[in-house]
Amino acid sequence: MRSVFKSLVLVMAFGTIVPMPAVTGVDDAALRRSIGFFPAAGWVLGLFLWGAMWVTAHLMPHGPAAVVVLAAYVLLTGALHLDGLADTFDALGSRKSAPGALAVMKDSRIGTMGAVAVMLVLMGKVVAFAHLSATAMGVWVVVPVLARTSVVWLMMGTPAARPDGLGALYARQLSKWTVAGATGVGLLTAAALMPWHEALLVVLLAVASTVLWARLIRHRFGGSTGDTYGALLEIVEWVGFLAVTGGWGYGR
């Protein structure tokens, strides 16, 4: 039980700014277990989104409520994944070879491509949030869960682009059981909280996004980095929320 708690604390401490208890004795086994808890972090953040939207939608019109909730979500995650999105798209837009593109990715300054990518993702999420019912708990939870499950799939499907980066650190700890566990949580969450045809849609979109992203970054960078993990998470959330708002009763 203590190891489970440690794994969840590690994931939440890494992916959010929520104060967490100090964790000691973080070894390879703890890191390996923490990867399997990525979808669990999606559950926590998804419930936050749902609860925040339910409260704010009772206090103000749906549009302004969507802006407030998205701002709170970005702050809660420390904009970590948006930073990865910006860095990755700056690197993609550099049109340099893999070593040069990775150097651009490591640069903390944001460029035009990165800024545009962040802007498009934020605009898409605001539009989606504004059209999602505050009572539709399923989509608010499922999309963040699948986005984090997709990161585990990306770890499995791509090598690390750098030998000493975050991608390499996590890739070294990955096991088939970790991937299977994370996948099981993601699929069961979708099946339990959404009608089957809607669950199938978001799962297929998450898989397709991961496959296409993996092919792109392998071609451009030779593999994954921590930034490309964050970028995929943002892309899957963006695609998932926008797709669901296209119909099937989740709109206002």
Q: What predicted TM-score, i.e. pTM, was given to this entire model?
A: 0.92
Close Cβ partners of 115 (under 8 Å, ≥ 6 residues apart): 86
The pLDDT assigned to 249 comes to 44
CB atoms within 10 A of CB 85: 25
Task: Render pLDDT for 127-174 as a digit per residue (tens, 0 to 9).
Answer: 999 999 888 899 999 999 999 999 999 999 999 888 777 677 777 778
- The overall average pLDDT reported for the chain is 89
The pLDDT assigned to 216 comes to 97
Note whether 65 and 59 are within 8 A (CB).
Answer: yes
131 closest CA partner among 177, 195, 187, 65 = 65
Task: Render pLDDT for 186-229 as a digit per residue (tens, 0 to 9).
Answer: 999 999 999 988 899 999 999 999 999 999 999 999 999 999 99
